[in-house]
């Protein structure tokens, strides 16, 4: 068997050139132009996980340095070492050495840099100033608001967004063709819904399901993803709305046990399904507010089932609101 047969699909299908990158079309075009000019500034990539930030940084390195990109590129994950030492030691040691070859600078990729402490970010700011002549920084963050302003002002900021359903479907079709997978329309719709624009999650789900056979079904996807089928969540909400609280409570517990859901996981799905309930808009607003309150209580350590029962009770009371005309 080839070595690729044992590879993690997130790495196996990671794009290596700009034309292979899915989504973020405008960002890819602008970054490609900067890389081709060779006058690249410091870059800050901000956006949700699985949207291509790390991939684009690696593509830039390959584009600039070719086969020798490993010698001119270092990747550090700030969530591993959040303190000032990672900046003073690892970053400075790499930044102070001069590049070899035609490109006049080296690239330091600092992933999840929003995890750095403020002191470490201040040290990074100073390091970016001192070694800017022959070093470029690519910073990646889920939340750009957690990056101090002096760093943001030194970078060209690119804001990534979740991939569209069409782009996700294209990735699924490509992998299915390469791996000889059979994916029907329902399964395609399900995996796109579950992944929610996260390419990494999509590829991991596909690989997990493929291990159980070449035919991928909607049921296997929901089971592997530990996500309840939306229709099952909708069922116990409708039961509560119809005044059958005991049945709704039992169905909700069965759903949690069947899919191995935590309270936080289920709250997020309930919140989506509330918008589809036959309840007046005012009632939906109240229920969304209760979802937020319940989610906060769960995050503070409250008992999951008691809080979910209380939310279900609020759904049952919502039937008293007049239906939308």
Domain termination residue (choose one: 103, 131, 159): 159
Write the CB contacts of 194 (distance below 8 Å, at least 6 apart in sequence).
Answer: 201, 205, 221, 222, 225, 227
Report CA 111 to chain centroid distance, whole Å. Answer: 14
Shared domain check, 94 and 49: yes
For 241-260, the pLDDT digits (tens) are 998 999 999 999 999 988 88
- What was the pLDDT predicted at 83? 60
- What was the pLDDT predicted at 116? 86
Shared domain check, 154 and 30: yes
Q: Does a structural domain hold residue 3?
A: no
Which has the minimum average pLDDT: 32-41, 89-98, 105-114, 256-265?
Answer: 89-98
CB-based contact 207:227 (threshold 8 Å): no
Which residue from 118, 95, 94, 112 is spatially nearest to 44, judged by alpha carbons?
A: 112
For 5-30, the pLDDT digits (tens) are 567 888 999 999 999 998 889 999 99
Shared domain check, 264 and 239: yes
Q: Does a structural domain hold residue 121?
A: yes
Please report, rounded to a whole number, the percentage of residues in the chain having pLDDT higher than 90.
46
Shared domain check, 240 and 302: yes
Q: What CATH code is carried by the domain that includes residue 206? A: 1.10.8.60
Domain termination residue (choose one: 205, 225, 245): 225
pLDDT band of 1, cuts 50, 70, 90:
very low
- What was the pLDDT predicted at 4? 58
Choose the most confident range, by mean pLDDT, from 111-115, 277-281, 288-292. 288-292
Phi–psi pair at 224, nearest 5 degrees: -70, -35
Q: Alpha carbon of 101 to those of 98, 105, 129: distances in Å?
A: 10, 9, 23
CB-based contact 98:63 (threshold 8 Å): no
39 pLDDT above the threshold of 90: no
Shared domain check, 155 and 48: yes
Q: Does a structural domain hold residue 6?
A: no
Give 113's Cβ-side CA count (13 Å radius). Answer: 32
Shared domain check, 239 and 199: no
Domain termination residue (choose one: 159, 174, 192): 159
- What was the pLDDT predicted at 45? 95
CB-based contact 228:259 (threshold 8 Å): yes
Please report, rounded to a whole number, the percentage of residues in the chain having pLDDT higher than 70.
93
Q: What is the mean pLDDT of residues 146-169?
A: 92
Q: Does a structural domain hold residue 70?
A: yes
Q: What CATH code is carried by the domain that includes residue 35? A: 3.40.50.300
Q: Indicate if the alpha-carbon torsion angle 67, 70, 73, 75 is positive or negative.
A: positive
Shared domain check, 246 and 148: no
Output the 3-class SS for the chain. Answer: CCHHHHCCHHHHCCCCCHHHCCCCHHHHHHHHHHHHHCCCCEEEEECCCCCCHHHHHHHHHHHHHHHHHHHHEEEEECCCCCCCHHHHHHHHHHHCCCCCCCCCCEEEEEECHHHCCHHHHHHHHHHHHHCCCCEEEEEEECCHHHCCHHHHCCEEEEECCCCCHHHHHHHHHHHHHHHCCEECHHHHHHHHHHHCCCHHHHHHHHHHHHCCCCEECHHHHHHHHCCCCHHHHHHHHHHHHCCCHHHHHHHHHHHHHHHCCCHHHHHHHHHHHHCCCCCCHHHHHHHHHHHHHHHHHHHCCCCHHHHHHHHHHHHHHHHHCCCCC
Shared domain check, 194 and 138: no
Report CA 266 to chain centroid distance, whole Å. Answer: 18
Shared domain check, 251 and 211: no
Shared domain check, 204 and 115: no
For 219-241, the pLDDT digits (tens) are 888 888 878 889 999 999 999 99
Shared domain check, 70 and 48: yes
325 pLDDT above the threshold of 50: no
324 pLDDT above the threshold of 50: no
Q: Does a structural domain hold residue 13?
A: no
pLDDT band of 217, cuts 50, 70, 90:
confident
- What was the pLDDT predicted at 323? 44
Q: Does a structural domain hold residue 211?
A: yes
**Rounded distance between C-alpha atoms, residue 61 and residue 101, angstroms:** 14
Q: What is the mean pLDDT of residues 111-134?
A: 86
pLDDT band of 99, cuts 50, 70, 90:
confident
For 55-71, the pLDDT digits (tens) are 999 999 999 888 888 88
Q: What CATH code is carried by the domain that includes residue 283? A: 1.20.272.10
**Rounded distance between C-alpha atoms, residue 113 and residue 96, angstroms:** 20
**What is the total count of domains within the chain?**
3
* Average predicted confidence (pLDDT) for the chain: 87
Higher-pLDDT residue of 184 and 310 is: 310
Both structure tokens of 268: 């997020």
Shared domain check, 53 and 128: yes
Distance spanning both ends of the chain, measured CA to CA: 63
Q: Does a structural domain hold residue 17?
A: no
Domain of residue 37, residue span: 24-159
318 pLDDT above the threshold of 50: yes
**Rounded distance between C-alpha atoms, residue 75 and residue 58, angstroms:** 9
């Amino acid at each position: 068997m080839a070595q690729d047969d044992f590879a993690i699909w997130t790495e196996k299908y990671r794009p290596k050139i700009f034309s292979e990158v899915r989504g973020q079309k405008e960002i890819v075009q602008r970054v490609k132009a900067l890389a081709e000019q060779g006058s690249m500034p410091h870059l800050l990539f901000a956006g949700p996980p699985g949207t291509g930030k790390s991939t684009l940084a690696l593509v830039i390195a390959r584009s600039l340095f070719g086969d020798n990109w490993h010698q001119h590129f270092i990747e550090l994950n700030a969530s591993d070492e959040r303190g000032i030492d990672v900046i003073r030691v690892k970053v400075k040691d790499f930044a102070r050495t001069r590049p070899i070859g035609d490109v006049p600078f080296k690239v330091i990729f600092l992933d999840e840099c929003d995890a750095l402490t403020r002191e470490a970010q201040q040290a990074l700011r100073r390091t970016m100033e001192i070694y800017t002549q022959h070093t470029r920084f690519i910073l990646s963050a889920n939340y750009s608001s957690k990056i101090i302003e002096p760093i943001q002002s030194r970078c060209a900021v690119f804001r990534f967004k979740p991939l569209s359903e069409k782009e996700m479907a294209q990735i699924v079709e490509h992998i299915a063709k390469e791996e000889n997978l059979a994916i029907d329309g329902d399964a395609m719709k399900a995996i796109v819904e579950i992944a929610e624009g996260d390419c990494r999650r999509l590829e991991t789900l596909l690989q997990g399901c493929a291990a159980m056979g070449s035919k991928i079904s909607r049921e296997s996807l929901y089971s592997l993803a530990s996500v309840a089928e939306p229709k099952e969540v909708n069922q116990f909400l409708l039961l509560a709305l119809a005044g059958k609280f005991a049945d709704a409570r039992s169905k909700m517990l069965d759903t949690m046990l069947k899919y191995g859901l935590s309270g936080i996981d289920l709250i997020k799905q309930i919140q989506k399904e509330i918008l589809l309930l036959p309840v007046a808009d005012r009632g939906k607003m109240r229920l969304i507010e209760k979802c937020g309150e319940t989610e906060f209580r769960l995050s503070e350590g409250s008992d999951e089932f008691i809080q979910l029962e209380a939310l279900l009770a609020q759904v049952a009371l919502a039937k008293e609101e007049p239906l939308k005309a």
